[in-house]
Amino acid sequence: MYRSHVLVCGGTGCTSSGSQQIMEALKAEIAKNDLTEEVSVVQTGCHGLCALGPIMIIYPDATFYSMVKVEDIPEIVAEHLLKGRVVTRLLYNETVTPAGSVKALIDTDFYKKQHRIALRNCGIINPEVIEEYIGTGGYEALGKVLTEMTPDDVIQCLLDSGLRGRGGGGFPTGLKWKLAKQNDADQKYVCCNADEGDPGAFMDRSVLEGDPHAVLEAMAIAGYAIGASQGYIYVRAEYPIAVERLKIAINQAREMELLGNNIFGSDFSFDIDLRLGAGAFVCGEETALMTSIEGNRGEPRPRPPFPAQKGLFGKPTILNNVETYANIPQIILHGAQWFASMGTEKSKGTKVFALGGKIHNTGLVEIPMGTTLREVIEEIGGGIPNGKKFKAAQTGGPSGGCIPAEHFDIPIDYDNLISIGSMMGSGGLIVMDEDDCMVDIAKFFLEFTVEESCGKCTPCRVGTKRMLEILTKITKGQATMEDLDKLEELCYYIKDNSLCGLGQTAPNPVLSTLRYFRDEYEAHIKEKRCPAGVCKALLSYRIDADKCRGCTLCARNCPNNAISGTVRNPHVIDQDKCIKCGACMEKCKFGAIYKK
């Protein structure tokens, strides 16, 4: 019986910061101090607060250490694990009260407004040990379904819960399953979309890394509900930790006969295989994903017929994303009304977001639907760094739109976001401050879309390139107001005529920035000026002769020798040589260099 358990985050973020080396050093130091029989080291998934990784939590007192380094390990072992004294300098500062005592992690600003359902086990259990998942109630929902419920009961439970697809479209999950069940076939399939490709999105990856069995269990439940015996998880190969843990989880479930033939002694058989994607964004679209699983080039197919009628290999198929599946075992165990009691009238339950951009607490959060954007950014996210003002938040990535400051208090749910020109998307939430240029942001997302277009349909293949050309002209100060009209016209044409959902939503970042920040577009065109000082073609760096002290620091740090001047005399920037990197302004100690 261990007296202490040391949980170390083994998610991608913390792994990239050295958590594997920390675990190795920790085990070695524990052995060195003869604590192997008393202290257990547990590798977990992401706990959410990625900005402070690598993260270590020591139980039973739940001490939360952040930004731990290998060189900190001897002190943690000697002080905390041997002597019971907390190493205060490594504590997450939000857990420390003014009186100097340590408060529970759940009471910190980052966690207290969250409600973890999809993420309930992430950061808590070792995802590579099936017994730990079972110890938290894992596979009880599957057992309940197979012994107490009919397929129609399962589907009705999901319909009553109000669960909608968390992959972006928000289609009712129970209705999707119902349609697939109604179509008779000799074979049906259950697919999981783990091809998370939005810039800034890492929700599904974190669930797979921290709680893979929740997805396997839910897919088996789906198979029982619609009459399928085979499932596929389509996960991008760029997620090596997630892929490895899925392989381990599938093998463990098979060994314990939780996948395979006659599960729980019933006549229900179901198995799951992995298919690795090569990183094509279009394969996040359901028909393109199925085409890729079939071994063909990942391109979308016209709908109808919909996958519930004719999907993978021409058979009835359901496809849900990772987060959607992660909710299902809990809905089965706790009941539809439990889930429906959270959220808003038309958007039930919780939503996982990946917070990124200009915000203190970058990481993973799970909030009840209806939580306001202000609460997410100012309270959970800790606000904007460096005293800057909030300007906008991009949700839904390249398929979404921006939420401006005027809608800072909007409750986040499917319908509210659509009403203001944005969308939920899979859950990426990128925060921007006053220093961001919204024209440049729209250009960034469109560059991504152009690069990732499969090219099957002309509106997306050609239209997005023409849009990008116009945006590039605007950021260089070469566009006219006629170009702006043409850009808007192209947006609506592509939206109405593209083959798949990705092409149809590609213009959203442009349309939403035009809707709320048209003045910035017009400043680029009419005044040849970037209000945020981001677009380099419209930018120049100048030296205020009255403030310059002639210290030569700017000249010494200029990578292109564009600054000249003598000691103690004002310097000058040669605009023809300046590459506009900003190094001079960053190094100037007297505030003499400014952007124009």
Q: How far is CA 542 from the centre of its chain?
A: 39
Q: What is the arithmetic mean of pLDDT over 450-466?
A: 94
Domains, the chain: 4-112 (3.40.30.10), 130-340 (3.40.50.11540), 350-433 (3.10.20.600), 438-526 (1.20.1440.230), 540-595 (3.30.70.20)
User: How far apart (Å, rounded) are the C-alpha atoms in residues 26 and 480?
Assistant: 62
Distance between first and last Cα of the chain: 67
Q: At what angle do helices 463-475 and 481-497 cross, to 10 degrees?
A: 150
- Predicted local distance difference test score (pLDDT) of residue 490: 96
Question: Are the C-beta atoms of 51 and 216 separated by less than 8 Å?
Answer: no
Q: What is the arithmetic mean of pLDDT over 387-394?
A: 95
pLDDT at 101 > cutoff 90: no
Mean pLDDT of the chain: 94
Question: Are the C-beta atoms of 9 and 123 separated by less than 8 Å?
Answer: yes
Decide: residue 533, CB within 10 A, 0-12 exposed, 13-18 middle, 19+ buried.
middle
Q: What is the arithmetic mean of pLDDT over 311-324?
A: 97
- Predicted local distance difference test score (pLDDT) of residue 99: 67
Q: What is the arithmetic mean of pLDDT over 575-583?
A: 91
- Predicted local distance difference test score (pLDDT) of residue 38: 95
User: For the segment 478-532, what is each residue's pLDDT rounded down to a tens digit?
Assistant: 999 999 999 999 999 999 999 998 899 999 999 999 999 999 999 999 999 999 9
b/e burial code for range 334-343 (CB count within 10 A of at least 16 → b): eebeebbebb
In this prediction, residue 255 has a pLDDT band, given cuts at 50, 70 and 90, of: very high
Decide: residue 38, CB within 10 A, 0-12 exposed, 13-18 middle, 19+ buried.
middle
Whole-number Cα distances in Å, 163 to 157, 174, 180, 486 = 10, 7, 17, 40
User: How far apart (Å, rounded) are the C-alpha atoms in residues 28 and 24?
Assistant: 6
pLDDT at 36 > cutoff 90: yes
Question: Are the C-beta atoms of 279 and 236 separated by less than 8 Å?
Answer: yes
- Predicted local distance difference test score (pLDDT) of residue 46: 94
Q: What is the arithmetic mean of pLDDT over 174-203?
A: 94
pLDDT at 392 > cutoff 90: yes
Q: What are phi and psi of 353, to 5 degrees?
A: -125, 145
Phi-psi label, residue 84: left if phi above 0, alpha if psi -120 to 50, beta otherwise: left
- Predicted local distance difference test score (pLDDT) of residue 198: 84
Q: What is the arithmetic mean of pLDDT over 287-296?
A: 96
User: For the segment 116-143, what is each residue's pLDDT rounded down to a tens digit?
Assistant: 999 999 999 999 999 999 999 999 999 9
pLDDT at 104 > cutoff 80: no
pLDDT at 308 > cutoff 70: yes
- Predicted local distance difference test score (pLDDT) of residue 197: 83
User: For the segment 217-226, what is each residue's pLDDT rounded down to a tens digit?
Assistant: 999 999 999 9
Q: What are phi and psi of 67, to 5 degrees?
A: 50, 45
Nearest CA among 378, 512, 372 for reference residue 433: 378
Whole-number Cα distances in Å, 475 to 47, 430, 443, 514, 521 = 40, 21, 9, 14, 9
b/e burial code for range 180-195 (CB count within 10 A of at least 16 → b): bbebebeebbbbbbbb
C-alpha angle 234/252/23, rounded to 5°? 90
User: For the segment 327-380, what is each residue's pLDDT rounded down to a tens digit?
Assistant: 999 999 999 999 999 999 999 999 999 999 999 999 999 999 999 999 999 999
Q: For 183-270, where are the alpha helices, taking DSSP H only?
A: 203-210, 212-226, 240-255
Three-class DSSP category at 103: coil
- Predicted local distance difference test score (pLDDT) of residue 100: 67
User: How far apart (Å, rounded) are the C-alpha atoms in residues 158 and 151?
Assistant: 11
User: For the segment 273-283, what is each residue's pLDDT rounded down to a tens digit?
Assistant: 999 998 899 99
Three-class DSSP category at 494: helix
Element (H, E) at 274: strand 271-277
Instruction: List strands edge to edge, sheet with 350-357.
Output: 363-368, 350-357, 428-433, 390-395, 401-404
User: For the segment 189-234, what is each residue's pLDDT rounded down to a tens digit?
Assistant: 999 999 988 888 899 999 999 999 999 999 999 999 999 999 999 9
User: How far apart (Å, rounded) are the C-alpha atoms in residues 161 and 163?
Assistant: 5
User: For the segment 526-575, what is each residue's pLDDT rounded down to a tens digit?
Assistant: 999 999 989 989 988 999 999 999 999 999 999 999 999 999 999 999 99
- Predicted local distance difference test score (pLDDT) of residue 413: 93
Residue labelled with tokens 């035009």: 514
| 364: DSSP letter | E
Three-class DSSP category at 342: coil
Whole-number Cα distances in Å, 354 to 14, 104, 351, 361, 394 = 15, 23, 10, 10, 11
Q: Greatest CA separation found in the chain?
A: 88
More reliable by pLDDT, 196 or 1: 196
Q: What is the arithmetic mean of pLDDT over 291-307?
A: 94
- Predicted local distance difference test score (pLDDT) of residue 93: 83
What token pair was written down for 50?
A: 């990625």
In this prediction, residue 427 has a pLDDT band, given cuts at 50, 70 and 90, of: confident
pLDDT at 433 > cutoff 80: yes
User: For the segment 17-27, what is each residue's pLDDT rounded down to a tens digit?
Assistant: 999 999 999 99
